[in-house]
Amino acid sequence: MSNTSAPNTSVRGKIVFITGSSRGIGAATAMAFAAQGARLLLAARRAGKLSEVASMALERGAQAVHSFQLDVRSRNAVQRAIDELPPEWAEIDILVNNAGLSRGMDKLYTGKTEDWDEMIDTNVKGLLYVTRAVVPGMVVRGRGHVVNLGSMAGEMVYPNGAVYCGSKAAERAINDGLREDVLGTPVRVTSIDPGLVETDFSLVRFHGDAARAAKVYKGLTPLTAEDVADVILWAVTRPQHVNIARVSFSSVHQANTLLIHRQA
């Protein structure tokens, strides 16, 4: 992994576009690439937190940072953001489609449709909008790597999570379909599929209920955002002829979405 061996392919000076980079996995990924001297394009809905991450990235070693507020649910906003990038930021080398969330944990037949809409609009449609705006340029330039944040939830559905799991199953299919569609070009496509990661994911899922969110990780050692960022960096620094199709990984306390060992 990147913390124990030198990368095979350097990301120094490369433009790395990370969505949802104001917190959690997105912010940790920004720090990981910053430490390797990348140039960072950071986007998120929360402008205040994004500014903090941008400053930290520069301190960590990023060659430059350009950040902007973006809601990936808006197709027009996404396309406009890419079209209006300054020329020195327009040639994106690496796209990390990280923006995503879960809302609610209800039985499908009692679920809130507004929660469904937010998950599908962000996790599926947002992924598509950003990919559609960025990848054509990669194909024309003959270089690029798309990293999509999936989940073990896309492999196995768990109770009361049908819509979130469905959105990640869609990510899995979109990732594989894109890899097929760019075949014949040097563009690489990778899905990163972690298990339980302790960020504010559960806090968002439970609409700010901190006590309920804390129970998700009780009695186990989950993955950290930095663990996921390390795997992302590893995947993009393989030799150019190597495409990591998918990385599925978890804490040793988790076998899959249904089997979790919790200590007393």
Q: Among positive and negative, which fits the CA dihedral 173, 177, 180, 185?
A: negative
The one-character DSSP state at 5 is S
Instruction: Say which of 109, 129, 158, 164 is annotated catalytic.
Output: 164
Q: How far apart are CA 31 and CA 40, in angstroms?
A: 10
Output Rg (C-alpha) for the chain, integer angstroms.
18
Helix (H) or strand (E) holding 191: strand 188-194
Q: How far apart are CA 120 and CA 128, in angstroms?
A: 11
Q: How far apart are CA 192 and CA 196, in angstroms?
A: 13
Contact 223, 193 (CB under 8 A): no
Q: Look up 164 and say whether it is catalytic.
A: yes
Q: How far apart are CA 194 and CA 196, in angstroms?
A: 7
- Which residues sit opposite 145 in a β-bridge? 94, 188
Q: Which residues are catalytic?
A: 164
